[in-house]
Amino acid sequence: MNQNYPNLFRSLTIRNHTYRNRIQTAPTMFAQACFMPDIAENVMRMIECRAAGGAAAVCVGEVGVNSKEGSCFNLVPVDYKEHSGKFFDAAAQYARRIKKHGALAFAEFSHEGQDANQLAFNAIWGGTDNSSGHVAYGPVDLVRPDGGVVKAFDEESMEALCRDMEHCCSFMKAAGFDGVLLHGGHGFLIQQFISPLFNKREDEYGGSIENRAKFPIRIFEAMRKGLGEDMILELRLSAEDKLPGGMTIKDVVEFAKLIDGKVDVFQVSCGIKLMGNRTNTFSDMYDIHGVNVEYARQIKAVMKKTKVSVIGGLNDPQQCEEIIAAGAADLVVLGRQAFADPEFANKAAAGKADTIRRCVRCFQCYPGAPEHETDVDIFHDLSPEEAAKASSPASMGKCAINPHSNLALYEDEYPAPERSRKVLIIGGGAGGMQAAITAKARGHKVIIFERSDRLGGILNFTDYDSCKADLHNFKELLIKEAEEAADELYLNQAVTKEAIDNISPDYVMIAIGSHCFPLQIAGSEKMMDVLDVFTENPVIGEKVVIIGGGNSGCETGILLAEMKKDVTVLEMANRLSPSCMGCYRAAMIDEMDKRGVKYATEVRCTEITDAGVKAVGRDNQELFYPADTVINACGMSANATEDIEKMCGQIPYMKIGDCEHVGKVGDAVSAGHIAALKIV
């Protein structure tokens, strides 16, 4: 028995397959990404790392049931009746890589029902509904808002799909998997039949919950036929649609009773995929962790034979332990957390939970647009090339806090260091700290200079922002690891030429960050820089105007609204957070609305007075916004590095983080990591 988390690390046996603990990883990468040569090997490694990291079960997905009406991310059509070919070989390799580390191997199948073959998605990946000649199938006939034609399943098409499901399962069985996960949630086919919002049928497949469950049950029976009696069948289903008139937990509990024993594991998720974080399909930074736990508890209460797993913002082994101990679920499922730290299980089991990099739910690994219609405007603003880049699997696999999780980066292509080098790092922000950690791991001697009294850089703002608890935890972990990595650490010291000469480093990394962009308008001296809000400097008065509606301006507005300030955010562009897209932006603006933050776009500020802000709006109308405090959130500017570069003389140096290119936390972490990999 594990002394740290005895319930989380209890084994569980289902159909003669033993889960070594209660931790699963979700299918967060498309299986057919194995056909993309630039990232194929890294996709395989990412899946394998989760098994090597101690998870009991690792799932790959999302595999379309067929290449016709059930489409998802299918790069090539697959005939599942043939247990051979390139995808069969790839599937078998996935299974082998997972199982060789002692984890159970799962493959996820999906059928998107009435939402398959979406025009917006196909426009990126090539082809349209018309060019493919395919239509979508769902509970009822309809024409979608995008013009896609949906046909209602009839007996013939139902039987055809059941055959497809059976063939899929026998295919994965032959490939060596231990089980399959049917994705029936997030608005996919199974959910469409169960939800009264989508299922308006008047025949034997509509009306009562018993009728709405008939076709899903036929599918499960077909899958069991393909799986045989040894393989595990897991179903993912949303606990609620989270839309007016939609499926509720009451519907799902009744459905659970009907399928008890027909599936082996019922995985509880939530919402509609096309709504992203807005229906908790993906929890965001403003949600509680474990958003679906109470739903899982209600479903488990009626299950006699079927086990229950739960997903949704889980990043803390103590919370996972409590979920299992309380009987709310039998298994916990890690989604984005598996990007943030695939060693989650091993670290928790070893009593090193404080070293886990916990997912900050920033959506860098999975932006949610344009696949998710959370930000239609920016999707329309993007060129096809930009849209393809933003939604490619390579961009989806990159984690802000784990630089190893980057499908575009092959670390073994960097040569091993010829010998230990002396590395001077100037600046102790995110980029500098990660550079120190990686350099030390590669055997180098690390010296850090930080001009302030502590490491952390801009991330120290998280000490004051209640919405950034996870990012604060990450910052504290970075500080701890950087302090351990540093052979010498100098705080409250700006680097000098004399210091560099005395140290005589082999390499210098300049990571001195950025500063608030100075807004050059009349009265600008009356403003407060946005970073000063996150210190002990008081925000005077009740009315606050924030100039700049990027992420920092919007998030500061949320914090000040929590402090009961009357906040208005002004942005020159035609929308808030113009450089941000997808679920993160949607969550941020939704939270502004919830907290009563006012905002205006296409506003150009012209003067700061003692009474407020003068501005010019659309059509050059003059505007005035009363304010007790005005905050400058117009972005950041790179700190000048020329003086340090001169000090380095002939010593090789690299600039990393904001002083090279102002970006987000993930950009700095990645830059520091890659810079350290280059030191040989």
- Comparing C-alpha atoms, which of 142, 111, 145, 147 is closest to residue 129? 147
Whose tokens are 């969550």? That residue is: 587
Q: Provide the b/e sequence for 488-515 (b: ≥16 CB within 10 Å).
A: ebbeeeebeeebbeebebbbbbbbbbbb
Give pLDDT, residue 374: 46
547, 522 Cβ separation under 8 angstroms:
no
Q: Which two tokens stand for residue 509?
A: 């990394």
Q: Please indicate whether residue 373 or residue 599 has the higher confidence score (pLDDT).
A: 599
Averaged pLDDT, 247-263: 98
Distances (CA, A) of 277 to 243, 548, 549: 13, 25, 21
* Percent of the chain whose pLDDT exceeds 70: 93
pTM: 0.93
Structure-token match 């904001």, residue found: 658
The CA–CA distances, whole Å, from 202 to 137, 211, 212, 345, 381 equal: 17, 10, 10, 48, 42
Q: Which two tokens stand for residue 147?
A: 């013009």
Q: Is the pLDDT score of 613 beyond 80?
A: yes
**Mean pLDDT across 363-377:** 64
Q: What mean pLDDT is predicted for residues 178-204?
A: 97
- Sign of the dihedral defined by the CA atoms of residues 574, 579, 583, 588, in that order: negative
**Cβ 73 vs Cβ 43: under 8 Å:** no
pLDDT band at 390 (very low <50, low <70, confident <90, very high): low
Pairing of strands 265-269, 12-14: unpaired
Is the pLDDT assigned to residue 335 strictly greater than 50? yes
Helix axes 582-594, 551-562, angle to 10 degrees: 30
Average pLDDT over residues 33-55: 93
Mean of the per-residue pLDDT values for the chain?
Answer: 92
pLDDT at 76: 82
Ordered structural domains, the chain, with CATH? 12-396 (3.20.20.70), 414-513+649-677 (3.40.50.720), 524-634 (3.50.50.60)
State pLDDT tens for residues 337-349: 999 999 999 999 9
How many CB atoms are closer than 10 A to CB 256? Answer: 25
Q: Do 138 and 69 meet the contact criterion of CB atoms below 8 Å apart?
A: no
Is a pLDDT exceeding 90 seen at residue 149? no
pLDDT (0 to 100) of residue 314: 98
For residues 117 and 495, the model is more confident at 495
Report pLDDT digits (tens) over 261-303: 999 999 999 999 888 888 999 999 999 999 999 999 999 999 9
Task: Name the more confident of 34 and 325.
Answer: 325
The confidence score (pLDDT) of residue 626 equals 98
With vertex at residue 463, the alpha carbon angle to CA 291 and CA 608, rounded to the nearest 5 degrees, is 105
Please give the pLDDT value at position 380: 47
199-228 average pLDDT score: 98
- Percentage of the chain beyond pLDDT 90 is 82
- Comparing C-alpha atoms, which of 309, 385, 399 is closest to residue 26? 309
Distance in angstroms (rounded) separating the CA atoms of residues 297 and 301: 6
Q: How far is CA 528 from the centre of its chain?
A: 33
Strand (E) positions, 97-200?
Answer: 104-110, 136-138, 142-143, 149-152, 179-183
* pLDDT score at 42: 93
Residues sharing a CB contact under 8 Å with residue 501, sequence separation 6 or more, in sequence order: none
- Quick one: pLDDT at residue 131? 45
**pLDDT of 120 over the 50 cut:** no
Cα 199 → chain centroid: 30
pLDDT exceeds cutoff 90 at 657: yes
Tokens coding 315: 């990043």
Alpha helices of 278-349 — where are they, by DSSP H?
A: 293-300, 317-325, 337-340, 344-349
pLDDT at res. 275: 86
Residue 5: both structure tokens together: 């988390």
Does residue 371 carry a pLDDT above 60?
no
Mean pLDDT computed over 215-227: 98
Mean pLDDT calculated for residue range 203-208: 97
- Average pLDDT of 205-223? 98
Each residue's pLDDT tens digit, 576-595: 998 887 889 999 999 999 99
Confidence of residue 30 (pLDDT cuts 50, 70, 90): confident
* Of residues 597, 660, 595, 587, the one with CA closest to residue 631: 597
* Confidence at residue 214, expressed as pLDDT on a 0 to 100 scale: 98
Mean pLDDT value of segment 604-632? 96
Q: Where residue 541 falls among pLDDT bands split at 50, 70, 90?
A: very high
From CA 54, how far away is CA 350, in angstroms rounded? 11
Does residue 126 register a pLDDT over 90? no
